[in-house]
Chains A and B, each alone.
Chain A
């Protein structure tokens, strides 16, 4: 395999796996004291 083809395949495989759907959870369930989605 030529150098250029190898490079393209490598980059293609990495990029394909790199952009992935994600959901990040920030924080946890500690307080619900009087705080609506902020305050109504």
Chain B
């Protein structure tokens, strides 16, 4: 499975050091899911919508591996959130859109771990059931998720501080 979503910079609200992602389980399906050879990448995306070719959606040089595991086991009751802590926190600069890329080689077919999705109105996700496929199916739906980390001041705020400091000495 290969799944990409784009999160807009307006939704992020500024620079952030991202430390974990979480998804909310829906009401139906299994209370667990088991995934193998899982990789999660983060990086930047220049557009507000995605194209069908996975690699073309990255701003060149920004694709970063933030999580990798031989096995990932998720467990949650209906409407509960399940979180994945990143191996390496990702520094999001707040200047462009955030691209999140999930990949896994296989999953235990005995379980279907359903999560809530929402319709964004524009193409915000790409999905391919074959991990090796260079392109996927476009969709206006994407996973509801939470992004956790530390929000950081932007340069404009530091500029304002500098202006106040300069004025204070006059």
- Asked if A and B are interacting partners, one says yes
Contact: B115 with A30, CB < 8 Å?
A: no
State the interface size on chain A (CB cutoff 8 A). Answer: 30
A33 to B24, CA, bound (A): 14
| Partner among A11, A21, A37 whose Cβ is within 8 Å of the Cβ of B115 | A37
Contact: B116 with A30, CB < 8 Å?
A: yes
B binding-site residues for A, Cβ under 8 Å: 1, 3, 7, 11-13, 16, 23-24, 26-29, 33, 35, 74, 79, 102, 107-109, 111-120, 127, 129, 141-153, 157, 161, 164-165, 168-169
**Chain A, interface SS category:** mixed
By a CB distance below 8 angstroms, the chain A residues around B164 are 10
Q: How far is the CB of B96 from chain A (nearest CB, A)?
A: 16
A25 to B145, CA, bound (A): 6
